[in-house]
Amino acid sequence: MAKILPFKAVRPTRDKVSLVAARSYQSYTIEQREARLRDNPFSFLHIVNPGYKYDKEISGKDRYDLVRNRYLEFKEDSIFVHDEKPSYYIYKIVNRDQQVFNGIVAAASAEDYENDIIKKHEDTIEYRERIFKDYLKTVGFNAEPVLLTYPDNQVISNIIKETQKERAEFEFTTTYRDTHYLWKLENPSIIASIQKEFEQMPTIYIADGHHRSASSYLLYKEEKEQNPNHTGLESYNKFMTFLIPESELCIHEFNRLVKDLNGLSKEEFLIQLDTIFRIENRGVMLYKPSKKHHFSMYLDGEFYSLYLRKTLYNFKTALEALDAQILYNTILQPILGIEDLRNDDRINYINGKKDVINVKSAIDSGDFAVGFGMVPVDITEIKQIANEGLKMPPKSTFIEPKLRSGVTIYEF
């Protein structure tokens, strides 16, 4: 029984939203960030990078305090307004490839996260959870929702379609050529209908945002333990999410790049691969795999197809059958000596939405020795792994949609 609740969002004014909305801080190059901070005083980047005002890099608790200050300044200057009624926020994105995503921005329950009603499929790093928890506690808000997905539901779909017949509260197109729409849904009877539909779902799944949800849960635990008058109704009991139906989730793979062959010559490396894979040299033509358990490899100016030998199709869990795990178990760890996929600086990742030419270029430049590609994971695999209580290797999925920060804000 999933508790998905309306909340009173803090939002930019209609005339400022296109200027405020920003991608995640890390997704910009240094030059892009500098240009936006210099030329756009309303960008949410000014809040998350408060040191720009003093031309200084600021970190830790000092940065968190300044983020809080910048946020309050945006509110004081009426760039942000606080909605008076709890609402659901119907959100639609049409991206540059004309893919359409429709969903609901709402508050999810930290208790549901604790009780595995909200299921996870990806490992998180403990110190990153703690850092973001401390950040949330100091700044007092969250501006980037966790992406959740739920089984397609006709009642919710009909409500979204009916709501979208009205004029959108927000409509703006980004320089990235994505168009965003937001409708505020505050009718109590319609809100009750949506809540009822989610309450009938035994589980929903995290698609993207495992660290954000884990940090919100840590904040909930800490605040609950420190509050002798805890009721369960406090704002820290919930965290902001964007929920979309499973059929609209877009999942890309991540390609792997490795800096060296772990002391092996090209020939020695290929011989070791031959015991596990059927190998075909595809030459200089760009090649991507098209089936599960088939991989592409780019090495020394040539593409190869790697077909896992069928005698090795003896998987006991959904995780063992995952291509990213197969690649780790058969090549990355035993042959190339990469133990820690998160922290080993010999491995890097390029999301599969980018063309395979990016893999080729990275290796031709000499920065990496070999690259591997695979087909994307599907939602069934994600759910099976989550249901078995297992966790995917890092960078197993690159999932869309990606929301902009600062369009809806949840205050603790």
Mean pLDDT, residues 362-385: 96
The DSSP element (H or E) to which 47 belongs, if any, is helix 45-48
What kind of fold does domain 254-375 have according to CATH? Answer: 3.30.1760
The angle, 0 to 180 degrees and rounded to 10, between the axes of the packed helices 188-199 and 154-163 is: 150
Q: What are phi and psi of 247, to 5 degrees?
A: -70, -20
Q: How much is the pLDDT for 282?
A: 97
List, for residues 80-102, the tens digit of each pLDDT value. Answer: 999 999 999 999 999 988 999 99
d(CA 243, CA 151): 10
d(CA 303, CA 289): 11
* Contact predicate 277/309, CB 8 Å: yes
d(CA 74, CA 35): 20
d(CA 181, CA 305): 42
Residues whose CB is less than 8 angstroms from the CB of residue 366 and which lie 6 or more positions away in sequence, other chains included: none
Mean pLDDT, residues 163-179: 95
- pLDDT reading at 343 higher than 90: no
- pLDDT reading at 124 higher than 90: no
Residues whose CB is less than 8 angstroms from the CB of residue 196 and which lie 6 or more positions away in sequence, other chains included: none
d(CA 203, CA 211): 19
387, exposed or middle or buried, with CB in 10 Å at 0-12, 13-18, 19+?
middle
Q: How much is the pLDDT for 76?
A: 97
- pLDDT reading at 342 higher than 90: no
pLDDT bin (cut points 50, 70, 90) of residue 174 is: very high
Q: Sketch the domain layout of the chain as residue ranges.
A: 4-251+400-411, 254-375
**Torsion-angle region of residue 366: left (phi > 0), alpha (psi -120 to 50) or beta?**
left
Q: What are phi and psi of 193, to 5 degrees?
A: -65, -45
Q: How much is the pLDDT for 113?
A: 97
Q: What are phi and psi of 336, to 5 degrees?
A: -95, -5
Mean pLDDT, residues 166-174: 96
List, for residues 207-257, the tens digit of each pLDDT value. Answer: 999 999 999 999 999 999 999 999 999 999 999 999 999 999 999 999 999
Q: How much is the pLDDT for 165?
A: 98
Mean pLDDT, residues 299-315: 97
Q: How much is the pLDDT for 106?
A: 98
- pLDDT reading at 176 higher than 90: no
β-strands 277-283, 250-252: how paired? unpaired
Q: How much is the pLDDT for 175?
A: 87
My answer on whether omega of the bond before 145 falls inside 30° of 0, hence cis, is no
Mean pLDDT, residues 323-342: 96
Q: b/e map of 260-282 (b: 16 or more CB within 10 Å)?
A: ebbebeeeebbebbeebbeeeee
Which 8-state DSSP code applies to residue 130?
Answer: H
**Length of the chain counted residue by residue:** 412
Q: Model's pTM, two decimal places?
A: 0.92
- pLDDT reading at 43 higher than 90: yes
Structure tokens at 95: 């991206």
d(CA 138, CA 50): 14
- pLDDT reading at 26 higher than 90: no
Average pLDDT, the chain: 95
List, for residues 265-296, the tens digit of each pLDDT value. Answer: 999 999 999 999 999 999 999 999 999 999 99
Mean pLDDT, residues 349-353: 90
Q: How much is the pLDDT for 186?
A: 96
Q: Is 49 in a helix, a strand, or coil? A: coil
% of the chain residues with pLDDT over 90 = 91
Mean pLDDT, residues 132-157: 97
